[in-house]
Structure 1
Amino acid sequence: MIHQLKLVLSVLANQLSAAVDEVNENNVAPLVTMRQITELMRLVMGAIFQLKRGSDKPDENRRVLENLLASLRQIAGDERVAMDGRNAAVATLQYRTTASTIAQIEAIAGARTGSGVR
Protein backbone atom coordinates (compact mmCIF):
# COMPACT_ATOMS: atom_id res chain seq x y z
CA MET A 1 0.00 0.00 0.00
CA ILE A 2 2.88 2.36 0.76
CA HIS A 3 4.19 1.97 -2.79
CA GLN A 4 0.78 2.83 -4.26
CA LEU A 5 0.44 5.93 -2.09
CA LYS A 6 3.95 6.97 -3.11
CA LEU A 7 2.72 6.79 -6.72
CA VAL A 8 -0.15 9.12 -5.83
CA LEU A 9 2.36 11.42 -4.14
CA SER A 10 4.48 11.37 -7.31
CA VAL A 11 1.48 12.36 -9.43
CA LEU A 12 0.72 15.22 -7.03
CA ALA A 13 4.36 16.35 -7.25
CA ASN A 14 4.11 16.42 -11.03
CA GLN A 15 0.89 18.42 -10.81
CA LEU A 16 2.61 20.83 -8.42
CA SER A 17 5.49 21.27 -10.84
CA ALA A 18 3.08 21.98 -13.70
CA ALA A 19 1.22 24.54 -11.58
CA VAL A 20 4.50 26.29 -10.72
CA ASP A 21 5.28 26.54 -14.44
CA GLU A 22 1.92 28.29 -15.02
CA VAL A 23 2.41 31.01 -12.40
CA ASN A 24 2.39 34.53 -13.79
CA GLU A 25 1.32 37.94 -12.56
CA ASN A 26 -2.09 37.82 -14.26
CA ASN A 27 -3.30 34.42 -13.09
CA VAL A 28 -3.99 33.39 -9.50
CA ALA A 29 -5.30 29.92 -10.43
CA PRO A 30 -1.90 28.17 -10.31
CA LEU A 31 -1.30 29.53 -6.80
CA VAL A 32 -4.63 28.14 -5.63
CA THR A 33 -3.82 24.81 -7.23
CA MET A 34 -0.36 24.76 -5.65
CA ARG A 35 -1.80 25.42 -2.20
CA GLN A 36 -4.37 22.66 -2.65
CA ILE A 37 -1.83 20.15 -3.93
CA THR A 38 0.51 20.77 -1.01
CA GLU A 39 -2.37 20.16 1.43
CA LEU A 40 -3.25 16.91 -0.34
CA MET A 41 0.40 15.86 -0.34
CA ARG A 42 0.51 16.47 3.41
CA LEU A 43 -2.47 14.16 3.93
CA VAL A 44 -1.04 11.41 1.69
CA MET A 45 2.36 11.65 3.40
CA GLY A 46 0.63 11.35 6.77
CA ALA A 47 -1.03 8.13 5.62
CA ILE A 48 2.32 6.80 4.39
CA PHE A 49 3.89 7.51 7.79
CA GLN A 50 1.01 5.74 9.55
CA LEU A 51 1.45 2.73 7.30
CA LYS A 52 5.21 2.66 7.91
CA ARG A 53 4.68 2.72 11.69
CA GLY A 54 1.96 0.09 11.52
CA SER A 55 2.08 -3.68 11.50
CA ASP A 56 1.26 -4.01 7.78
CA LYS A 57 -1.85 -6.03 8.47
CA PRO A 58 -4.63 -5.79 5.86
CA ASP A 59 -7.22 -4.52 8.35
CA GLU A 60 -4.89 -1.81 9.62
CA ASN A 61 -3.90 -0.78 6.10
CA ARG A 62 -7.56 -0.60 5.10
CA ARG A 63 -8.33 1.56 8.14
CA VAL A 64 -5.54 4.02 7.27
CA LEU A 65 -6.73 4.19 3.67
CA GLU A 66 -10.36 4.65 4.73
CA ASN A 67 -9.34 7.48 7.10
CA LEU A 68 -7.39 9.17 4.30
CA LEU A 69 -10.32 8.89 1.92
CA ALA A 70 -12.73 10.16 4.58
CA SER A 71 -10.54 13.23 5.09
CA LEU A 72 -10.32 13.84 1.36
CA ARG A 73 -14.07 13.38 0.91
CA GLN A 74 -14.73 15.88 3.71
CA ILE A 75 -12.47 18.41 1.99
CA ALA A 76 -14.19 17.76 -1.35
CA GLY A 77 -17.61 18.18 0.28
CA ASP A 78 -16.56 21.50 1.79
CA GLU A 79 -15.26 22.62 -1.59
CA ARG A 80 -18.52 21.64 -3.31
CA VAL A 81 -20.44 23.79 -0.82
CA ALA A 82 -18.01 26.67 -1.40
CA MET A 83 -18.59 26.39 -5.15
CA ASP A 84 -21.95 28.09 -4.56
CA GLY A 85 -20.36 31.07 -2.79
CA ARG A 86 -18.33 34.13 -3.65
CA ASN A 87 -15.16 32.18 -4.27
CA ALA A 88 -16.73 29.66 -6.64
CA ALA A 89 -13.81 29.73 -9.08
CA VAL A 90 -11.28 29.00 -6.33
CA ALA A 91 -13.46 26.25 -4.85
CA THR A 92 -13.89 24.68 -8.28
CA LEU A 93 -10.12 24.50 -8.78
CA GLN A 94 -9.67 23.00 -5.33
CA TYR A 95 -12.48 20.50 -5.83
CA ARG A 96 -11.09 19.27 -9.15
CA THR A 97 -7.69 18.63 -7.58
CA THR A 98 -9.17 16.86 -4.56
CA ALA A 99 -11.60 14.78 -6.62
CA SER A 100 -8.83 13.56 -8.92
CA THR A 101 -6.73 12.55 -5.90
CA ILE A 102 -9.68 10.63 -4.44
CA ALA A 103 -10.12 8.83 -7.77
CA GLN A 104 -6.42 7.91 -7.86
CA ILE A 105 -6.50 6.51 -4.33
CA GLU A 106 -9.73 4.59 -4.97
CA ALA A 107 -8.15 3.12 -8.10
CA ILE A 108 -5.08 1.89 -6.24
CA ALA A 109 -7.23 0.62 -3.36
CA GLY A 110 -9.37 -1.34 -5.80
CA ALA A 111 -6.31 -2.79 -7.48
CA ARG A 112 -4.84 -3.74 -4.11
CA THR A 113 -7.94 -5.13 -2.40
CA GLY A 114 -10.05 -6.20 -5.35
CA SER A 115 -12.74 -3.66 -4.52
CA GLY A 116 -12.91 0.07 -4.05
CA VAL A 117 -12.86 1.57 -0.57
CA ARG A 118 -16.00 3.68 -0.14
Structure 2
Amino acid sequence: MIHSLKIVLAALSNQLDAAVAEVSENNIAPLVTVRQTTELMRLVMGAIVQLRRGSDRPDENRRILENLLATLRQMARDEKVAMDGRNAAAALLQYRATASTIAQIEAVAAARTGSGVR
Protein backbone atom coordinates (compact mmCIF):
# COMPACT_ATOMS: atom_id res chain seq x y z
CA MET A 1 0.00 0.00 0.00
CA ILE A 2 2.91 2.36 0.72
CA HIS A 3 4.14 1.91 -2.84
CA SER A 4 0.68 2.71 -4.18
CA LEU A 5 0.48 5.93 -2.18
CA LYS A 6 3.98 6.85 -3.33
CA ILE A 7 2.67 6.66 -6.91
CA VAL A 8 -0.10 9.11 -5.97
CA LEU A 9 2.48 11.33 -4.25
CA ALA A 10 4.63 11.33 -7.39
CA ALA A 11 1.63 12.36 -9.49
CA LEU A 12 0.87 15.16 -7.04
CA SER A 13 4.50 16.25 -7.20
CA ASN A 14 4.29 16.51 -10.98
CA GLN A 15 1.06 18.51 -10.67
CA LEU A 16 2.80 20.82 -8.21
CA ASP A 17 5.72 21.34 -10.59
CA ALA A 18 3.31 22.21 -13.40
CA ALA A 19 1.37 24.66 -11.23
CA VAL A 20 4.55 26.41 -10.07
CA ALA A 21 5.66 26.78 -13.68
CA GLU A 22 2.40 28.62 -14.46
CA VAL A 23 2.64 31.18 -11.65
CA SER A 24 2.51 34.76 -12.89
CA GLU A 25 1.59 38.15 -11.51
CA ASN A 26 -1.74 38.24 -13.30
CA ASN A 27 -3.02 34.74 -12.61
CA ILE A 28 -3.94 33.53 -9.14
CA ALA A 29 -5.11 30.06 -10.27
CA PRO A 30 -1.65 28.43 -10.08
CA LEU A 31 -1.22 29.72 -6.52
CA VAL A 32 -4.51 28.13 -5.48
CA THR A 33 -3.43 24.90 -7.16
CA VAL A 34 -0.02 24.98 -5.44
CA ARG A 35 -1.64 25.50 -2.04
CA GLN A 36 -4.20 22.74 -2.61
CA THR A 37 -1.68 20.27 -4.02
CA THR A 38 0.64 20.88 -1.09
CA GLU A 39 -2.20 20.13 1.33
CA LEU A 40 -3.09 16.95 -0.57
CA MET A 41 0.55 15.86 -0.51
CA ARG A 42 0.64 16.45 3.26
CA LEU A 43 -2.37 14.18 3.75
CA VAL A 44 -0.98 11.41 1.53
CA MET A 45 2.42 11.59 3.27
CA GLY A 46 0.64 11.35 6.63
CA ALA A 47 -1.03 8.14 5.49
CA ILE A 48 2.32 6.77 4.33
CA VAL A 49 3.82 7.50 7.76
CA GLN A 50 0.89 5.72 9.44
CA LEU A 51 1.34 2.72 7.16
CA ARG A 52 5.06 2.56 7.92
CA ARG A 53 4.41 2.67 11.66
CA GLY A 54 1.71 0.02 11.39
CA SER A 55 1.92 -3.73 11.36
CA ASP A 56 1.16 -4.04 7.62
CA ARG A 57 -2.01 -6.04 8.24
CA PRO A 58 -4.60 -5.78 5.43
CA ASP A 59 -7.34 -4.62 7.81
CA GLU A 60 -5.12 -1.91 9.27
CA ASN A 61 -3.95 -0.77 5.82
CA ARG A 62 -7.55 -0.62 4.64
CA ARG A 63 -8.55 1.46 7.70
CA ILE A 64 -5.74 3.95 7.05
CA LEU A 65 -6.69 4.22 3.39
CA GLU A 66 -10.39 4.61 4.23
CA ASN A 67 -9.55 7.37 6.73
CA LEU A 68 -7.50 9.19 4.09
CA LEU A 69 -10.29 8.91 1.55
CA ALA A 70 -12.88 10.05 4.12
CA THR A 71 -10.78 13.15 4.81
CA LEU A 72 -10.40 13.86 1.09
CA ARG A 73 -14.10 13.33 0.43
CA GLN A 74 -15.00 15.74 3.22
CA MET A 75 -12.64 18.30 1.70
CA ALA A 76 -14.32 17.79 -1.68
CA ARG A 77 -17.78 18.29 -0.14
CA ASP A 78 -16.60 21.49 1.57
CA GLU A 79 -15.11 22.73 -1.69
CA LYS A 80 -18.36 22.03 -3.54
CA VAL A 81 -20.23 24.14 -1.00
CA ALA A 82 -17.66 26.91 -1.37
CA MET A 83 -18.25 26.94 -5.13
CA ASP A 84 -21.53 28.74 -4.43
CA GLY A 85 -19.76 31.59 -2.66
CA ARG A 86 -17.56 34.53 -3.57
CA ASN A 87 -14.49 32.38 -4.08
CA ALA A 88 -16.16 30.02 -6.52
CA ALA A 89 -13.24 29.95 -8.98
CA ALA A 90 -10.73 29.04 -6.27
CA ALA A 91 -13.08 26.43 -4.79
CA LEU A 92 -13.52 24.85 -8.22
CA LEU A 93 -9.75 24.53 -8.63
CA GLN A 94 -9.45 23.03 -5.15
CA TYR A 95 -12.29 20.62 -5.81
CA ARG A 96 -10.77 19.44 -9.09
CA ALA A 97 -7.43 18.73 -7.41
CA THR A 98 -9.08 16.89 -4.52
CA ALA A 99 -11.42 14.86 -6.74
CA SER A 100 -8.50 13.90 -8.97
CA THR A 101 -6.49 12.73 -5.95
CA ILE A 102 -9.42 10.65 -4.69
CA ALA A 103 -9.67 9.00 -8.12
CA GLN A 104 -5.92 8.31 -8.18
CA ILE A 105 -5.96 6.71 -4.73
CA GLU A 106 -9.00 4.59 -5.57
CA ALA A 107 -7.33 3.48 -8.81
CA VAL A 108 -4.04 2.44 -7.23
CA ALA A 109 -5.85 0.76 -4.33
CA ALA A 110 -8.05 -1.20 -6.74
CA ALA A 111 -5.04 -2.20 -8.83
CA ARG A 112 -3.18 -3.37 -5.75
CA THR A 113 -5.95 -5.21 -3.96
CA GLY A 114 -8.22 -6.17 -6.82
CA SER A 115 -11.12 -4.36 -5.18
CA GLY A 116 -12.05 -0.77 -4.60
CA VAL A 117 -11.95 1.06 -1.30
CA ARG A 118 -15.01 3.13 -0.49
TM range (shorter): over 0.9
**Other structure's SS at 2:86 match:** coil
Aligned ranges 1:38-117 → 2 under 5 Å: 38-117=38-117
> 2 CA distance for matches of 1:9 and 1:79?
21
**Other structure's SS at 1:91 match:** helix
**Other structure's SS at 2:95 match:** helix
> 2 CA distance for matches of 1:66 and 1:8?
15
> 2 CA distance for matches of 1:16 and 1:3?
20
What letter is aligned with 2:52? K
> 2 CA distance for matches of 1:13 and 1:114?
26
TM-score by length of 1: 0.99
**Other structure's SS at 1:94 match:** helix
Aligned length in residues = 118
> 2 CA distance for matches of 1:81 and 1:113?
33
TM-score by length of 2: 0.99
> 2 CA distance for matches of 1:112 and 1:93?
29
Structure 1 runs of 4+ with >6 Å offset = none
**RMSD of aligned alpha carbons:** 0.5
Percent of aligned positions that are identical: 80
Structure 1 range deviating more: 107-116 or 75-84: 107-116
Deviation at residue 109 of structure 1 after TM alignment: 1.1
Aligned ranges 1:15-54 → 2 under 5 Å: 15-54=15-54
Name stretches of at least 5 consecutive residues in structure 1 with no aligned partner: none
Name stretches of at least 5 consecutive residues in structure 2 with no aligned partner: none
